[in-house]
């Protein structure tokens, strides 16, 4: 494992060069890998493993939309596509990729198939970390590992098809066989990780929940709405407000920041933009810091998990969710966005 310096801090990182695909296939050559769930992460991870030459099957509830999607992706009933219990029976590695709510509902089935020496794989530490609320407590005689791609399953698949990869974290919760880390890394390479960095189940879920509610979605969407509202209230048109708030960020600036870093972004803008951004950066940081601290404490305390489980288990959750999404979708901000996207040049 390489020791890489990240801003002055040494971390253990596994590169593809250190753990090539052929080594991963050798580690898992005698295993049947069952991907349980075919929603957000399942398709990308399952198809990448299949294309990389691993013995992989899919377990999914029969007849639903995800079952139909699996059929469309080439999984064959009775050969590579099975009902969840049958897939778990056949597997030596169970990749538990149902939603957090789905994992709670199906845990009895999974637990009943965790015979000695099997590997239980997660891509999210939620179920195990908050086990007092989820009831997910793995038996002591299995390996329990995690590989968490830092992006959606769609992005994982898209980058894989381009010959690239998403960075993933990995963690070992339980090492019964003495081979848990090697098997976790093999699975991480198999699903198409760019590189793998070490964490643990708690840190993964704490950072993930904070990121989702924070800069990745919640804070970002809230800042979009705030700036758009100010510009519109001061007489700017919807097109101008959307372009200055969302379009320029997503289409122009963020790809450059991704490629070169924020310092490069500052260095390659006008003096007017440089000074304004540098002077106001700290004001936004100081305003947001208390909110992020509060958010992190809510996550660590388990209160966020409790709220998610309670809300997600309500019979009318999907109906209320659609109402919330409709409000966003039909807002002027995102209607303007829809119009702007339709005007992008077609190459």
DSSP string, 16-79: TTTS-HHHHHHHTTT--EEEE--SSSHHHHHHHHHHTT--EEEE--TTSHHHHHHHHTT--BTT
Cα distance between residue 40 and residue 66, in whole Å: 10
Contact partners, residue 36, CB within 8 Å, separation at least 6: 42, 59, 60, 84, 87, 88, 94, 95, 96, 97, 98, 106, 110
Enclosing H/E stretch for 200: none
Tell me, yes or no, if 124 is annotated catalytic. yes
> What are the DSSP E strand ranges found in 284-347?
none
Question: Which residue in 60, 26, 328 sits closest to 185, CA to CA?
Answer: 26
Query: Which of 108, 124, 131, 236 is flagged as catalytic?
Result: 124
Question: How deeply is 39 buried, as exposed, middle or buried, from its count of CB atoms within 10 A (0-12, 13-18, 19+)?
Answer: middle
Radius of gyration of the chain (CA): 22
**Joined tokens for residue 264:** 């490069």
Cα distance between residue 16 and residue 11, in whole Å: 16
221 CA to centre of own chain? 18
CA quadruple 80, 82, 87, 91: dihedral, nearest 10: -10
Task: Find residue 196's DSSP bridge partners.
Answer: 14, 168
Cα distance between residue 139 and residue 107, in whole Å: 12
**Joined tokens for residue 36:** 């349980």
Enclosing H/E stretch for 255: helix 254-260
Active-site annotation, residues: 124
């Amino acid at each position: 494992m390489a020791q890489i310096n990240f801003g002055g801090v040494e971390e253990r990182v596994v590169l593809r060069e250190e753990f090539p695909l052929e080594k991963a296939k050798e580690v898992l050559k005698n295993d049947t890998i069952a991907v349980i769930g075919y929603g957000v992460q399942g398709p990308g991870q399952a198809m990448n493993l299949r294309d990389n030459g691993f013995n992989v099957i899919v377990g999914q509830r029969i007849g639903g939309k995800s079952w139909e999607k699996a059929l469309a992706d080439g999984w064959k009933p009775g050969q590579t596509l099975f009902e969840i219990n049958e897939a778990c029976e056949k597997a030596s590695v169970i990749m538990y990729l149902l939603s957090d709510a789905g994992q709670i509902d199906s845990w009895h089935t999974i637990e009943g198939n965790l015979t000695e020496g099997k590997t239980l794989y997660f891509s999210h530490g939620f179920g195990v970390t908050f086990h007092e609320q989820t009831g997910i407590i793995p038996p002591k005689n299995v390996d329990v590992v995690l590989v968490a791609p830092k992006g959606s399953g769609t992005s994982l698949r898209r980058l894989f098809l381009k010959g690239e990869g998403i960075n993933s974290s990995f963690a070992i919760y339980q090492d019964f066989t003495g081979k848990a880390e090697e098997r976790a890394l093999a699975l991480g390479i198999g699903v198409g990780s760019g590189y793998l960095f070490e964490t643990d189940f708690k840190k993964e879920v704490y950072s993930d929940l904070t990121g989702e509610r924070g800069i990745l979605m919640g804070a970002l969407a809230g800042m979009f709405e705030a700036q758009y509202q100010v510009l519109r209230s001061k007489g700017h048109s919807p097109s101008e407000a959307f372009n200055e708030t969302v379009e320029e960020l997503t289409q122009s600036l963020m790809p450059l920041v991704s490629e070169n870093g924020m310092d490069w972004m500052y260095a390659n803008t006008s003096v007017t933009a440089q000074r304004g951004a540098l002077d106001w950066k700290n004001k936004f940081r100081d305003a947001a810091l208390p909110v992020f601290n509060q958010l992190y404490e809510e996550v660590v305390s388990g209160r966020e998990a409790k709220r998610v489980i309670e809300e997600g288990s309500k019979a009318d959750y999907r109906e209320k969710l659609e109402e919330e999404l409709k409000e966003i979708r039909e807002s002027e901000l995102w209607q303007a966005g829809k119009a702007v996207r339709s005007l992008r040049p077609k190459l």
